[in-house]
C-alpha cells in the first residue's frame, strides 16, 4: 500500500525503475531472463582472455629480460670463467688452436672424466701456455723431468715433448740413437729450452760399463740377452745417469717414459701433471700411473696422437667382476688383455740413494720407497697404432724363427706370437703374400671395427674415450709450434756436435750389424768378471728387490671364467 500511494502522488512524473519493478512484481509476469543470460558469458570469457594475454606477455618478457641481464653482466665482466683462475697472472693468451680447431668443439661434448675442463670455454684451461717458447714454466713447482731412450724422428718426438710441456714438465733428458741422433733431428732437439740430448758415444758406453749395476743382483737376470732384454738394461743404465742429471738440475720428480706414451693427469682439479704431483703427500716417494692401451679403429693411422681417442682401461681402474666377466671380448683374440705390458709407469721424487728398478719402476738403495697408485691418472700407451709399428718391432731384433730364440728375445706373449707367426710361417711365402697376411693379422688382432663389441665394452667401462691429448697436440700443430721450433733451429751444427752425431751414428750402425748386443758391449771390458756376476750369492739377492719387468695384466683362470656381468 505505501508503494501505491507514492505512485498516485507523482502521476505526472517519470516513474522510477524501482517502483516499476515493484508494480510489475504484483501486476505483470516477470520479464524474460534473456538479458542476464547474455551478459554473464560476456564477463566470464573476458577473464580467461585477460589471463592468457598476461601469461603470453610474461613468457615473452622473461627470456628477453634474462638475455639482457646476461649481456650486461658479460659486458661488464660480472660472470668469471672458473678456468681463468688456472692461467698465470697477466696471461690473456688463448690456448693454441682452440679458436679454430674442430677437435676443440668436439671436446665440449665429451665426458668430464676424460677431458676435465679442457674445451669448456675459449679461455685457457691449460695453465702453462703463454707462448710457444713456454717461458712461464721456469719458476713452477714442483719441477718435473722426463727421461727417455729413443730413436724416433721429429714427427713423434716434438708432439710428445710439447704435450708434456703443456701439462707442466720442465726438463727432458733424451738418450738418442739412430734417427733421433741424426744431425737434422738432434739440432732441433738441442735448440729447445729445457732439453738435454745425450748421445750414445764411446765415452758414454765406457762410463756405463763402470756402473755399480753390473755388480748387483737386481738386474742381473736381464744381462747378456738380446732384443727386449738388451733394451731393458740400456734403459736402466740411462735412467741411472738421468738421476744424476735431475739432481744437478734441481728437479723434484723424475719419470721414465717412451715416446709412444703420454701422461694423462686425470683426477687433478686442472689438467696438470704439476698439480697432480703437487697434491701427493710429502711422505710418498713414488707414484704409479696405471697404463691404458690404445685401441685403434682403423688400419690406416698416420699420426696416433691426433687420430686415436679410444683406449682400453687398466685392470686397476676396472671393477674386478667387470674385468673378468668381459675378459673374452676384451682380449680380441690375443694371448692377453693387453698387447704389451700392463703394470704402468712411475714417477719418483728425486732424493738421495735413488736408483732405477727397470724401465717401469724406481727404487732406493737405503729404503723401500713408499708408493701409491693413482685412481684416475694414467699413462696412455699408443701400442701398435700403425702397421709399421708391428713390423719394425719384429725386424729390429733379428731373432731366429724358433720357439727358444723367440722366447729369449721377447718378454711378452703378443710379441712372441707376432715374431713366431711372421718369421716362421711367412718366411716360406713370397713377399707380396707376406704383406697381405701381415695386414690381415694386423686387422684381425689389433683393429677394433666391430661397432657392437666396441659399444658394449664402452658401456661396461672396459674401453673409454679420451680426447684431451688429441685436442692439445692438434692445437699445438695448428698454432705453428712445431714448425716454429724447426724453423728456429740452427742451420749448421758446431764441429763438436757434428762429431758427436757421427760417433752416435757409427755406434748405432755397429749395434745393428753386430750380433753382440750393446749391453754386452758395455760390459765387454769386464767380461772376465761375468762369471762372478752370474754366480753372486743368492742370499745377497734377497736384499735387493729384482727389477720390475714389463708385466702382462692378470689372466682369467677357470674359476674366474664363470663370472658373468
Query: In the structure, what pLDDT confidence band is assigned to residue 27 with cuts at 50, 70 and 90?
Result: very low
CB-based contacts of 87: which residues, under 8 Å, 6+ apart? 123, 124, 127
For residue range 106-150, what is the model confidence (pLDDT) as tens digits?
333 333 334 333 333 333 345 555 554 565 455 778 999 999 999
Of residues 276 and 410, which shows the higher confidence score? 276
Angle (nearest 5°) at CA 360 between 358 and 362: 65
Predicted confidence at residue 78, as pLDDT, reads 42
For residue range 365-391, what is the model confidence (pLDDT) as tens digits?
999 999 999 999 999 999 988 877 766
Query: In the structure, what pLDDT confidence band is assigned to residue 395 with cuts at 50, 70 and 90?
Result: low
Structural domain contains residue 508: no
Predicted confidence at residue 75, as pLDDT, reads 53
Strand partners, 171: 145
Mean of the per-residue pLDDT values of the chain:
74
DSSP string, 90-135: T--PPPTTTTT-HHHHHHTTS-HHHHTTTTSSSS--STT-SSTT-G
Query: In the structure, what pLDDT confidence band is assigned to residue 459 with cuts at 50, 70 and 90?
Result: very high
Cβ–Cβ under 8 Å, residues 379 and 256: no
Chain centroid offset of residue 293 CA: 10
Of residues 449 and 21, which shows the higher confidence score? 449
Mean pLDDT over residues 4-23, rounded?
41
> How large a percentage of the chain has pLDDT more than 70?
61
Cα–Cα dist 104/109, whole Å: 10
If you ran DSSP here, which 8-state letter would residue 422 be given?
I
Q: Which residues of 512-527 are buried (b: 16+ CB within 10 A; e: fewer)?
A: eeeeebbbbbbbeeee
Domain count, the chain: 1
Strand partners, 261: 381
Predicted confidence at residue 497, as pLDDT, reads 52
Query: In 3D, which of 279, 254, 262 has the Cα closest to residue 364?
Result: 254
Structural domain contains residue 281: yes
pLDDT at 101 over 60: no
Tell me whether the omega of the peptide bond preceding residue 370 falls within 30 degrees of 0, making it cis.
Answer: no
Query: In the structure, what pLDDT confidence band is assigned to residue 465 with cuts at 50, 70 and 90?
Result: very high
Q: Please state at what angle helix 202-209 crosses helix 495-513, rounded to 10 degrees.
A: 60
Cα–Cα dist 243/371, whole Å: 18
Predicted confidence at residue 552, as pLDDT, reads 87
What burial class does residue 353 get, using C-beta atoms within 10 Å of its C-beta: 0-12 exposed, 13-18 middle, 19+ buried? exposed
Residue 356 belongs to domain with CATH number? 3.90.550
Mean pLDDT over residues 28-39, rounded?
46
Q: The sheet that has 463-465: what strands, in order across it?
A: 261-264, 378-381, 291-294, 310-312, 463-465
CB-based contacts of 235: which residues, under 8 Å, 6+ apart? 149, 256, 356, 358, 359
pLDDT at 523 over 80: no
Mean pLDDT over residues 461-470, rounded?
97
Cα–Cα dist 104/121, whole Å: 9
Query: In 3D, which of 223, 479, 500 has the Cα closest to residue 358?
Result: 223
Structural domain contains residue 77: no
For residue range 263-321, what is the model confidence (pLDDT) as tens digits?
999 999 899 999 999 999 999 999 999 999 999 999 899 999 999 999 999 999 999 99
Strands (E), 250-391: 253-256, 261-264, 286-289, 291-294, 310-312, 345-349, 354-356, 362-364, 371-373, 378-381
Structural domain contains residue 68: no
User: Which cell numbers hold the place of 252?
Assistant: 723434484
Structural domain contains residue 95: no
Of residues 456 and 386, which shows the higher confidence score? 456
Range from 30-39, 62-71, 228-237, 253-262 carrying the lowest mean pLDDT: 30-39
Structural domain contains residue 404: no
Range from 4-18, 260-274, 476-490 carrying the lowest mean pLDDT: 4-18
- Domain residues for the domain of 346 are 144-291+340-382+466-485
Strand partners, 263: 379
Structural domain contains residue 42: no
Q: What are phi and psi of 419, to 5 degrees?
A: -65, -40
User: Which cell numbers hold the place of 40?
Assistant: 554473464
Predicted confidence at residue 173, as pLDDT, reads 98
Predicted confidence at residue 59, as pLDDT, reads 79
For residue range 220-242, what is the model confidence (pLDDT) as tens digits?
999 988 878 888 999 999 999 99
For residue range 319-355, what is the model confidence (pLDDT) as tens digits?
999 999 999 999 988 889 999 999 999 999 999 999 9
Structural domain contains residue 287: yes
Amino acid at each position: 500500500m505505501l508503494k501505491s500511494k507514492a505512485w498516485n502522488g507523482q502521476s505526472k512524473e517519470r516513474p522510477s525503475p524501482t517502483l516499476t519493478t515493484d508494480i510489475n512484481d504484483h501486476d505483470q509476469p516477470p520479464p524474460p531472463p534473456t538479458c542476464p543470460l547474455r551478459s554473464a558469458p560476456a564477463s566470464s570469457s573476458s577473464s580467461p582472455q585477460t589471463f592468457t594475454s598476461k601469461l603470453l606477455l610474461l613468457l615473452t618478457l622473461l627470456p628477453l629480460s634474462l638475455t639482457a641481464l646476461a649481456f650486461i653482466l658479460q659486458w661488464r665482466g660480472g660472470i668469471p670463467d672458473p678456468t681463468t683462475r688456472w692461467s698465470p697472472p697477466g696471461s690473456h693468451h688463448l690456448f693454441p688452436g682452440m679458436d679454430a680447431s674442430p677437435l676443440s668443439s668436439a671436446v665440449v661434448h665429451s665426458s668430464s672424466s676424460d677431458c676435465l675442463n679442457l674445451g669448456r670455454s675459449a679461455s685457457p684451461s691449460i695453465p702453462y701456455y703463454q707462448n710457444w717458447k713456454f717461458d712461464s714454466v721456469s719458476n713452477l713447482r714442483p719441477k718435473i723431468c722426463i727421461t727417455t731412450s729413443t730413436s724416433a724422428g721429429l714427427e713423434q718426438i716434438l708432439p710428445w715433448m710439447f704435450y708434456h710441456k703443456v701439462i707442466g714438465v720442465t726438463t727432458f733428458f733424451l738418450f738418442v740413437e739412430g734417427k733421433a741422433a741424426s744431425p737434422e733431428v738432434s739440432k732441433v732437439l738441442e735448440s729447445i729450452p729445457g732439453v738435454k740430448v745425450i748421445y750414445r758415444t764411446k765415452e758414454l758406453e765406457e762410463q756405463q760399463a763402470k756402473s755399480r749395476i753390473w755388480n748387483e743382483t737386481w738386474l742381473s737376470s736381464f744381462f747378456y740377452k738380446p732384443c727386449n732384454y738388451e733394451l731393458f738394461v740400456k734403459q736402466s743404465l740411462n735412467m741411472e745417469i738421468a738421476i744424476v742429471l735431475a739432481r744437478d738440475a734441481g728437479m723434484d720428480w723424475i719419470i721414465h717414459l717412451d715416446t709412444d706414451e703420454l701422461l694423462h693427469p686425470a683426477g687433478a682439479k686442472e689438467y696438470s701433471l704439476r698439480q697432480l704431483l703437487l697434491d701427493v703427500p710429502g711422505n710418498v716417494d713414488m707414484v704409479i700411473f696405471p697404463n691404458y692401451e690404445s685401441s685403434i679403429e682403423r688400419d690406416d693411422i698416420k699420426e696416433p696422437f691426433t687420430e686415436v681417442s679410444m683406449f682400453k682401461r687398466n685392470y686397476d681402474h676396472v671393477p674386478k667382476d667387470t674385468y673378468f666377466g668381459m675378459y673374452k671380448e676384451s682380449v680380441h683374440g690375443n694371448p692377453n688383455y693387453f698387447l704389451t705390458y700392463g703394470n704402468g709407469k712411475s714417477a719418483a721424487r728425486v732424493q738421495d740413494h735413488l736408483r732405477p728398478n727397470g724401465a717401469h719402476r724406481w727404487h732406493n738403495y737405503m729404503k723401500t720407497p713408499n708408493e701409491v697408485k693413482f685412481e684416475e691418472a694414467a699413462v696412455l700407451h699408443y701400442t701398435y697404432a700403425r702397421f709399421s709399428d708391428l713390423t719394425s718391432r719384429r725386424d729390429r731384433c733379428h731373432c731366429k724363427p724358433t720357439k727358444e730364440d723367440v722366447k729369449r728375445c721377447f718378454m711378452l706373449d703378443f710379441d712372441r706370437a707376432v715374431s713366431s707367426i711372421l718369421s716362421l710361417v711367412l718366411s716360406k711365402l713370397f713377399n707380396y703374400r707376406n704383406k697381405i697376411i701381415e695386414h690381415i693379422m694386423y686387422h684381425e688382432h689389433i683393429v677394433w671395427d666391430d661397432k657392437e663389441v666396441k659399444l658394449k665394452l664402452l658401456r661396461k667401462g672396459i674401453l673409454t674415450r679420451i680426447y684431451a691429448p688429441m685436442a692439445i697436440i692438434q692445437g699445438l700443430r695448428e698454432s705453428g709450434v712445431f714448425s716454429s721450433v724447426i724453423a728456429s733451429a740452427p742451420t749448421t751444427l758446431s764441429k763438436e756436435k757434428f762429431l758427436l752425431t757421427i760417433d752416435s751414428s757409427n755406434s748405432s750402425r755397429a749395434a745393428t750389424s753386430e750380433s753382440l748386443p750393446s749391453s754386452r758391449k758395455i760390459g765387454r771390458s769386464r767380461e772376465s768378471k761375468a762369471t762372478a756376476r752370474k754366480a753372486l750369492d743368492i742370499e745377497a739377492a734377497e736384499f735387493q728387490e729384482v727389477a720390475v719387468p714389463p708385466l702382462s695384466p692378470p689372466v682369467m683362470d677357470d674359476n674366474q671364467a664363470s663370472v658373468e656381468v
